[in-house]
Amino acid sequence: MNILVFYGTTEGQTRKIAEWTATHIRERGHEVELRDSAAFPSDFDVGTFHAFVVAASVHQEHHQETITNFAIAHHELLNAKSSAFISVSLSAVLEEAKTEAQKYVDRFVAMTGWQPRMTLLLGGALRFSEYDYFQEQIVKFIVMKREATASGEHDREFTDWGALGCFLDEFLDNAMRRSNAR
């Protein structure tokens, strides 16, 4: 299968997730094209792909505008083919905020018209070493008050790579079955 891995990132963790995703899919014998939504040419032919994995991070309760625009523009194609959505947020790792993380996905789906066959809520990262003073204060206020284990000012990655691998394997199995049924 020929699969497009399309991503939007703000601080870089979703790029890391998308790169890992592309490698994982290639290791299973599929062709992959990895594309950053911030540098996506308008004349790119998405119709040549058999399946899609779209990854986007959540900031201020919304996914990247470039991802939203892509999903709106291509929702019919995404709905017709095997597609998966990976929503990356810190809310996904905070037990009391998982409902909130799912609401971000639900709002995204309602807004775009795309009904991904599979979705994954995946933890992102805190990059204190890259934040300016104001970003650091916002993170401390929003995230740290919720989770005692997230305290401190050290960079921390919350991505569950094992869960991502299992998700992708299931997605590939389903996409192959769907492709063979045609």
pLDDT tens readout for residues 59-103: 878 899 999 999 999 999 999 999 999 999 877 877 777 888 899
The pTM score is 0.86
Q: Which pLDDT score, from 0 to 100, does residue 17 have?
A: 97
Share of the chain above pLDDT 90, in %: 63
Q: Which residue has the higher pLDDT, 54 or 139?
A: 54
Q: Which pLDDT score, from 0 to 100, does residue 131 have?
A: 59
Q: Which residue has the higher pLDDT, 2 or 133?
A: 2
Beta bridge partners of 34: 5
Q: Across residues 2-8, what is the average pLDDT?
A: 97
- For residue 143, name the pLDDT band (cuts at 50, 70, 90): low
Mean pLDDT of the chain: 86
pLDDT above 80 for 108:
yes
